[in-house]
A and B are shown apart, each in its own frame.
Chain A
Amino acid sequence: MRHQPETQTPPAPPPPSPSPSPSEDAEDRVSASLQPLKPANFRHEQARHLLWRAGFGGSQAQVMTLVEWGLEKSVEHIVGYDNVEFESPAADLFDKDIMHPPSEEERKMYQSARRAGNEELLAQARLERERRERLDRSQMAEVQKWWLRRMIETPRPLEEKLTIFWHGHFATSFRTIENSYHMYLQNQLLRRHASGNFGELLLAIIRDPAMIAYLDNNDSRKGRPNENLARELMELFSLGVGNYSEDDIKEGARALTGYTFVDDAFVFQKQNHDNGVKNILGKSGGFDGDGFVRIILEKRACAAFIARKLYSFFVADVPLTAKDADLEPAQRAVLRRLAATLTSGRYELKPFLKKLFLSEHFYEPRFINQQVKSPIQLVVGAIRSLNTPERDLSILNDALDRMGQRIFFPPSVKGWDGGRSWINTSTYFVRQNIMAFLIAAKMPRGYDALANEQPFDPLDLLEPQDKHRTTVVDAVLRITLGHAPVHAKETLESFLAASDGDVNKANVTALFLLATAMPEYQLC
């Protein structure tokens, strides 16, 4: 189906009036509000929620600091992370030459070897390639560890959280491209644009070597365009299914011809580019890839799609395929307004994020502690909020893999499904057991390496008034879950009573082990 060309002017943002359309009932009026939360309502629970959703959780002290700062300053600090000092990743942190293609000289040598049937030389070349591939796989593991450590240590958690978001959005896997340095470059690109401008990010991603290789655009040339990138650009990266036609894909692919890379840099090969007139999404002209992206950005569907993805990531799952009409009125209204925020702000992300994190809607009780933690969220969040040792980044990465989130290896171009798909009977035990590893250095089976057995004393997490047999259970549950469900309190209290009731290291460690093995601990 062809879409009608839309008007050139972006739709005006809705009036900043608190009065909603009359069709929404009183309850929806409250929950649909993107008006800021009243300062007085920003308390411990809300500050904790903000820390978990806009980052990876935090210690009790960090929660208290945000409460003290108040809503506005907290959001300003979190979103305006550019003002917080933290080193940028250096370009030469990793070796860029491992997977460089053979030189002209080498190529010629192998060509003549092939012609002459010199099996010895060909076997040597093959061995050399395999040696490089092995080296590159080890470097990929190093990049994984480097990113995981950065997430654990960063004073700018939203930056890494958004980088993960974009990694899932523009999913590219090392498994396919087999070039660790290109994965690293893409990671830097996503971080650089993480809270910048979505339009610029979209323009940058079609020039990214890892993406070009992943979606086969390096072979796309005039006369035989490869449609892979054009398709995913619209289906998964910007518009969503149903907002473009198969013809738009074919024409868009022509616009992207000649977009390739040499070594580590984007190259536009004019001789391979199709200069002809293309008809894309109702516009016609001699577009190149950038022109194609600009046409996409003018579509309302693009802002709506990105708003929905960000909302699902930060607030609550909204199926990407669900029709607007099937959403509850409150969410529909919020999503509409968020999309309008993106449009009127010309895809600037910071105003969008600020509006969201300040809003009453974001802090609605039905959203708090109701998001399934991603594996990253679980592991990084535990270390940051409980201050456990990180122990062994290789084991942590391995656990992430077993839990279904191997960074730099998303399962497909669709990225990670997230939400409930993280949880099944197998991953459930891995999730509990990695907590036992972090808290009590309980080694997962199958590891011979010496893990870091650095002691962890959970008594350090407790305030003096918490170190009492009548208050300790409550404190442990509040630190781990943010609330103290009655049944859990009863269970833990009778456990404590059966263990002499002493508030000592062994007993408090046991309480933390039990609390983090609860189904509720998988939520934030």
Chain B
Amino acid sequence: MNLVQSSAYTRREFLRTGLILASAATTIPSFVSSSAAAMTAAMNGLTSAPGIPDDRILVIVQLSGGNDGLNTVVPYGMPEYYKARAGIAIPQKDALKLSGGDGIGLHPQMTALKDLYDNDMAGIIQGVGYPNPNRSHFKSMDIWHTADTTATGDGWLGKYFDAECCGFGKGESGTIENPSSAPSAGPPGIAIGRSAPLAMEGRQIKPVSFESEELFRWSGQDISKSLKEPYESLNTRAQSHPAESDTNASFLMRTALDAQVSSDLIRKAVAQRPATAFPQNELGRQLSMVAAMIRAGLKTRVYYVNHGGFDTHSGQGGSQGRHGQLLKQLADSVKAFYTELKAQDNAARVMTMSFSEFGRRVGQNASQGTDHGTAAPMFLFGPMVRTGIIGDHPSLRDLDEGDLKHKIDFRSVYAGILEGWLKADSKVILEGNYRPLPVMKKA
């Protein structure tokens, strides 16, 4: 093992550690260089180094707009369900009955998800929410992202990165005591989307985000091919600059180089066609990119994708229709994702979690749709996750002004994933004591 002295720390080692994707690593060059030796040591013994979990990956699927939980995981055994939703309820005969679920079934468009469930690859956590639910899309989404009902502070995954990388995880008032003494470097997250989700924003570590690999590059070179070479020459000059120099100019040159390298790495990874046919929709496209990056061996710990359009105030549909289409896209895409991961022999390394900012009201509205509500189910996917139906379906009789009362606090789910899957200290990261919900399959 070749331990490099911090002063002799070179770009090559930096790239090799996989930290290249941690954009914030470049914002703290002093940290990077002074902890280089520790970091290199840690990365060489990746699975055994203390404080570093093995190479497990978490994928978050965000269902934006407020997914109607009652038409996703259908309580066809409850007569109140049909009373409240005369126009849009899923008929009992259509619901995909779940083994182990008494009177609980899936939306008929989710046959692919039923397959995962039947193959012991899917868990359904019922009635997830939080106290005094907020019905604003923005606010409630921020609450889920920050794991804080005041919706303030860093993102929960960002705090995880920070805690792993820099040994601190306190909220906004937290200070970095001594980042250069950090035991190791945590690989960062990649978000597919227009901008990085708040959930992944840490103090030190920032995620890489891009909508498509084509946007994660300089568009000027499309104007004329002859621009590519001079452009690259102007943007990769950091190689000839000493890394110790700490002016803003040298910082920018290093970031420019990082950007070129990350762009090459990611675009090369996603240029490889997957072995599996992914469904032709936005979520399928995003998950096929994630699968490609996992196959390419990026050191990324968390990927984040988004599936939008769930704000179904009108014309939501029942067994057929708009909401059903969204659920079909979700089910088909996740199934293709795990088929691909299995073919790569990576499935066991990957846990996927889905969530939405809120569920919808129990009663439908006058426009054959549903309005903003509260608790809703979450899904967990992967060969290692606890499967089956987790928790009880919220009561349809005991409502809070027409809304479901949550059974499980979403932060218990986060705590379970942090403790069980990522082997992190949920108390530090969530800044509170939430009983971790067991999310791992019993050995």
Interface, chain A (partner B; CB < 8 A): 114, 119-120, 122-124, 126-127, 130, 133, 175-176, 178, 321, 369-372, 401-402, 404, 411-414, 419-421, 423-426, 428-429, 432-433, 435-437, 440, 442, 444-446, 487-488, 491-492, 494-495, 498-499, 506, 510, 513-514, 517-520, 522-523
Contact = CB atoms under 8 A, between A and B. Distances in A.
B227 A123 contact: no
A433 B363 contact: no
B172 A429 contact: no
Contacts of A423: 27, 251-252, 255
B114 interface: no
A442 B262 CA distance: 23
Given A428-B256, A487-B237, A488-B234, A123 B365 contact: yes
Given A372-B252, A423-B27, A425-B263, 11 more contacts: A130-B371, A178-B136, A370-B248, A402-B195, A414-B172, A433-B215, A436-B219, A445-B219, A494-B230, A517-B218, A523-B248
B255 A429 contact: no
Contact of A426 (B138, B139, B209, B365): B209
A123 B362 CA distance: 12
20 contacts: A123-B371, A127-B367, A133-B136, A175-B139, A175-B142, A178-B138, A411-B201, A412-B153, A425-B259, A426-B210, A428-B255, A428-B259, A432-B220, A442-B223, A444-B215, A445-B214, A514-B231, A517-B218, A517-B220, A519-B249
A282 to B, nearest CB: 24
A119 B363 contact: yes
Question: Of A124, A421, A429, A499, which is in contact with the most chain B CB atoms at under 10 Å from its CB?
Answer: A429
Nearest to B230: A495
Across the A-B interface, give the 5 residue pairs with the lowest CB-CB distance, nearest first: A424-B23, A519-B252, A425-B259, A436-B220, A519-B256
B401 A492 contact: no
B440 interface: no
Nearest to A372: B248
B371 A425 contact: no
Interface in B120-137: 136
B23 A426 contact: yes
Contacts of A372: 248, 252
Nearest to B254: A519
B216 A495 contact: no
Interface string B2-26: 0000000000000000000101101
B253 interface: yes
B235 A519 contact: yes
Given A402-B194, A424-B23, A426-B196, A445 B223 contact: no
A483 to B, nearest CB: 11
B404 to A, nearest CB: 15
Nearest to A427: B23
B262 A425 contact: yes
Contacts of B195: 401-402, 404
A446 B255 CA distance: 25
Contact of B211 (A178, A412, A445, A495): A445
B427 interface: no
Given A372-B252, A402-B194, A517-B231, A495 B226 contact: yes
A124 B252 contact: no
Interface in B365-396: 365-367, 371-372
Given A120-B366, A370-B249, A514-B234, A429 B259 contact: yes
A424 B206 contact: yes
Interface in B216-241: 216-220, 222-224, 226-227, 229-231, 233-235, 237
Contacts of A130: 313, 371-372
Contacts of B23: 424-426
B208 A440 contact: no
Question: Of A423, A494, A520, which is in contact with the most chain B CB atoms at under 10 Å from its CB?
Answer: A423
A419 B247 CA distance: 12
Contacts of A436: 218-220, 223
A119 B223 CA distance: 58
Given A432-B220, A514-B230, A412 B251 contact: no
Contacts of B136: 133, 178
A413 B152 CA distance: 9
A523 B252 CA distance: 9
Contacts of B26: 424-425
Interface in B141-173: 142, 151-153, 172
Contacts of B372: 126, 130
B27 A421 contact: yes
B231 to A, nearest CB: 6
